[in-house]
């Protein structure tokens, strides 16, 4: 099979799974809170990924890590698989799913900002346009198009979701400096998320087993949405160029929006479509190489 075709198929599998995040988040938190849901999901993801490391023969890669490496990976794990998901799950359990979705997908736009300050990457006209498009979309959705009358419901929760998106953007920028075997690295990330969510669960909530209705979304989230989706993504990256795959990932928020409307009867205003379009346009503006196109 052609490399690009294979990469496209793997990427589409990822997109379909990533689009399910709002669904599993809402269905998995009928009785559990975000700390409890994150713990069970992260635990399953860690087990699945660790088994994948063993099966692929990469277990020895853990031994190559020095103390400094473990510290760096732990910090990245807290940013990308603990705080990001903790705040994201809080958002989907407390606020409007469409509003959370749009704020969630500001992380590709925030990567542009963090790359400028941390990696000293040039702030080109294309990147400036991406930032403007992205944040215009967020402002449009959160204000329902009435920019002169700002009245955001669940503003504190939405702010946490924005902080989570910032954490994931920072995680993505800092991860560019990690030159290790990716599957074992992600396994460490989810181990950190499991430990951190267990501690926060005991500190801010209590230990609780999932109800029967929550088991399926938790397993689905742990095994596929957060687990094997990473494996599919690595296979996609091995098959073809990341620049070719990047635009495909922006199908995920569109699918998420459709899932929210289909499964939860989320109210859909036309302004949501415009806002989502602007956020996706911002991501695509930064991803696509217009000279090659």
The predicted pLDDT at position 290 comes to 46
Contact 229, 54 (CB under 8 A): no
Burial class (CB in 10 A: 0-12, 13-18, 19+), 154: middle
DSSP 8-state symbol, 78: I
Each residue's pLDDT expressed in tens, for the chain with a length of 293 residues = 667 778 788 888 888 898 899 999 999 999 999 999 999 999 999 999 999 889 888 888 888 888 998 999 999 999 989 999 999 999 999 988 888 888 888 887 788 788 888 877 777 777 788 778 777 877 777 676 665 555 566 788 989 999 999 998 898 888 877 778 788 888 999 999 999 999 999 999 899 999 999 999 999 999 988 877 877 876 776 777 655 666 677 778 888 888 888 888 877 778 778 877 887 777 667 655 544 44
Alpha-carbon span 85 to 96, nearest angstrom: 17
pLDDT at residue number 1: 62
Report pLDDT for 38.
Answer: 96
Specify the pLDDT at position 250: 74
Contacts of 25 (CB under 8 A, 6+ apart): 37, 88, 89, 92, 93, 221
Q: What is the pTM of this model?
A: 0.85
Q: What whole-number distance in Å separates Cα of residue 198 and Cα of residue 64? A: 27
Residue 283: the pLDDT is 67
In angstroms, the CA 216 to CA 238 distance is: 31
- The rounded radius of gyration (Å) of the Cα atoms in the chain is 19
For residue 133, the model assigns a pLDDT of: 79
pLDDT at position 45 is: 94
Q: Three-class SS string for 174-216?
A: HHCCCCCCHHHHHHHHHHHHHHHHHHHHHHHCCCCCCCHHHHH
- Kindly provide the b/e burial profile for residues 40-52, where b requires at least 16 CB atoms within 10 angstroms of the residue's own CB: bbbbbbbbbbbeb
Predicted local distance difference test score (pLDDT) of residue 293: 44
Task: Please name the residue ranges forming H helices in 122-269.
Answer: 125-142, 155-175, 182-204, 212-220, 229-239, 242-245, 251-264
The predicted pLDDT at position 279 comes to 76
């Amino acid at each position: 099979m052609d490399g690009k075709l294979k990469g496209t198929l793997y990427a589409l599998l990822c997109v379909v799974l990533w689009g399910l995040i709002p669904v599993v988040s809402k269905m998995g938190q009928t009785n559990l809170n975000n700390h409890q849901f994150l713990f069970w999901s992260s635990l399953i993801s860690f087990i699945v990924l660790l088994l994948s490391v063993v099966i692929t023969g990469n277990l020895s890669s853990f031994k190559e890590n020095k103390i400094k490496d473990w510290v760096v990976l732990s910090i990245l794990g807290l940013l990308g698989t603990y705080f990001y998901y903790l705040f994201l799950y809080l958002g989907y359990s407390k606020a409007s799913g469409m509003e959370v979705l749009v704020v969630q997908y500001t992380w590709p736009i925030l990567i542009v900002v963090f790359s400028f300050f941390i990696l000293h990457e040039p702030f080109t006209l294309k990147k400036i346009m991406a930032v403007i498009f992205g944040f215009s979309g967020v402002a449009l959705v959160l204000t329902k198009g009435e920019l002169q009358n700002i009245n955001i419901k669940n503003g504190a929760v939405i702010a946490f979701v924005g902080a989570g998106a910032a954490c994931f953007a920072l995680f993505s920028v800092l991860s560019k400096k990690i030159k290790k075997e990716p599957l074992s690295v992600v396994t460490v990330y989810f181990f950190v998320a499991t430990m951190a969510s267990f501690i926060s669960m005991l500190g801010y909530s209590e230990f609780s087993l999932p109800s029967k209705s929550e088991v399926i979304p938790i397993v689905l989230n742990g095994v596929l949405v957060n687990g094997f989706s990473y494996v599919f993504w690595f296979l996609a990256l091995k098959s073809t160029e990341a620049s070719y795959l990047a635009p495909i990932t922006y199908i995920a928020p569109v699918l998420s929006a459709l899932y929210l409307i289909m499964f939860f009867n989320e109210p859909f205003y036309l302004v949501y479509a415009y806002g989502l379009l602007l956020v996706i346009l911002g991501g695509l503006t930064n991803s696509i190489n217009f000279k090659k196109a």
